[in-house]
Structure 1
Amino acid sequence: MDTLALKILFMVGFIAAWAIRTPYQKRDKQTKRLAARLVLRERVLFVLIYVGMVILPLIYVFSPWLSPADYHSSLWAGYLGAIFFAISLWLLWRSHHDLGRNWSPTLEIREGHTFVSSGIYQKIRHPMYAAFWLWCVAQALLLPNWVAGLAGMISFGIMYVLRISNEEQMMLQHFGEEYKAYMQRTKRLIPYLF
């Protein structure tokens, strides 16, 4: 697959992800927050994610600025990247759909926040994080550039490591034993493995 085809595949997935998320972001702005955690750190992490998963990939797709970091990609990488992105998009949509009004981009409890353990959440505690991990792998496979391709994994990896324990602690504090029991019967990212 040539670089243009890989860029087009990436942009199709990128636009689809934004289309999935946008209605939930609009609804999120209308919901009253009851408790938020680590607000400054959350903002810094979102800037990091934005750079690694939006700005650098778009610079790579639409300009030659990052071309000194290009490398040759094999045909299988493009196909595998497209498959990972497709799975990521389905998981992103499903997790947003199942959370409904409970979704928030930051660590916070909302007015009317309910505990969701149905749908995709029956097997995976954090399917949205799993979706973003798959997106990052797809980005690395579809953008054969050491900077733009790996930026998503690095930025999201930092965010995930710094955020996941705080998120689970917040859920435990708010939902107590119900969430503790849920943690014992589900896996964090990949059912039956991790």
Structure 2
Amino acid sequence: MSEMNPLNSKIIFIIGMMLWLIVRIPYQRQQKQNTIVDDRKTIQEKAIRLLLLIGILFLPLTYVLSPWLNFANYDLPIWAHHLGIATLVPALWLFWRSHRDLGENWSSTLQIREGHTLMTHGVYQNIRHPMYASVLLLCIAQALLLPNWIAGLSGFVSFSIAYATRVDREEQMLLNRFGDEYEVYRQRTKRLIPYVF
């Protein structure tokens, strides 16, 4: 068989998304209990989060659960299916590990909490934004597992916009909070890919 089975790919993607959401649930609960000392949640921030939700969850689920986006389907070889799975697994692991290493410091928006500490160990030892890296990997897996010009690529498009408009603001917030400590950390690490980018 030279082409991938779309149903198998859809099932694997759905399982991946369910695991993704399960990882985040306890941290979202914990986040509600923390006291916020610096909140930079703006209309732009809310719009970016909505865009990510549409690109990574809503459009893929529409494609998986209905025929509405089938007009934009394309064919992929079987190796793309395998590469999609191979990309999804480290995306899920990195997403889980990023949350675990951050612990109480995690926030879904641009916020600093009371008692916030700078995370420089675990997966944060070599890259400053492993959670963004995990989302990037998820978006690559999405494009490989969902062969559809809309649902497959919507995650990558929304992530690119979110990354371009958010990461500098996040780093500035951390620089304001931790000063030289964050600048030293920033100088010795990469944003997304260790030793590269």
- What TM-score do you get using the length of structure 1 for normalisation? 0.98
> 160, 170, 194: which is aligned to 1:167?
170
Letter in 2 for 1:118: H
In 1, the alpha carbon distance for the partners of 2:29 and 2:48 equals: 20
2:194 paired with 1:191: yes
Map of 1:29 onto structure 2: 32
- Give every structure 1 segment of 4 or more consecutive aligned residues whose post-TM-superposition deviation is greater than 4 Å: none
> 29, 38, 47: which is aligned to 1:44?
47
| Cα shift readout 1:146-192 (whole Å, capped 9, x = no counterpart) | 00000000011100000010000010000000000000111110001
2:76 paired with 1:84: no
Q: Aligned with 1:148: secondary structure?
A: coil
Map of 1:135 onto structure 2: 138
User: How many residues get paired?
Assistant: 194
In 2, the alpha carbon distance for the partners of 1:108 and 1:49 equals: 18
Q: Aligned with 1:7: secondary structure?
A: helix
> 99, 103, 109: which is aligned to 1:96?
99
- Structure 2 portions without partners, runs of 5+: none
Map of 1:124 onto structure 2: 127
In 2, the alpha carbon distance for the partners of 1:83 and 1:20 equals: 19
In 1, the alpha carbon distance for the partners of 2:183 and 2:23 equals: 30
Letter in 2 for 1:66: L
For the aligned residues, what is the CA RMSD?
Answer: 0.7
In 2, the alpha carbon distance for the partners of 1:69 and 1:30 equals: 43
Letter in 2 for 1:183: R
In 2, the alpha carbon distance for the partners of 1:42 and 1:28 equals: 17
Q: Aligned with 1:192: secondary structure?
A: coil
Letter in 1 for 2:62: I
Map of 2:64 onto structure 1: 61
- What TM-score do you get using the length of structure 2 for normalisation? 0.97
- Structure 1 portions without partners, runs of 5+: none
